[in-house]
Amino acid sequence: MGIELVKNKQSKVSIHPKKSINKIFFEEGKKHGIYLRTLGNIVMIVPPLAISENELDTLLNRTIKTIKSAQNQVL
């Protein structure tokens, strides 16, 4: 699953940060106890095939927190 990062939801203009998106999300994700993969301006979530519903909820909640905390660095 991937989450595309855009400046504006309506116009869907891609973000162009000064710092590497990969580095930003690696550092912020690490603070929240997860590792995220990026592909351009897309944040990839790749959970294991054997994952409980509780673990998936934790992963998604931490991903949302990571994106919110990285928001100031990528815009």
Summarised one tens digit per residue, pLDDT across range 13-59 is 877 777 788 888 889 999 999 998 888 888 899 898 999 999 999 99
pTM of the model: 0.80
CA 13/CA 69 separation, integer angstroms:
20
Q: Please give the domain boundaries of the chain with CATH numbers for all domains.
A: 2-74 (3.90.1150.10)
74 neighbors 26 (Cβ within 8 angstroms): no
CA 7/CA 57 separation, integer angstroms:
26
4 neighbors 42 (Cβ within 8 angstroms): yes
Q: For 55, what's the count of Cα atoms within 13 Å in the CB-facing half-sphere?
A: 8
44 neighbors 20 (Cβ within 8 angstroms): no
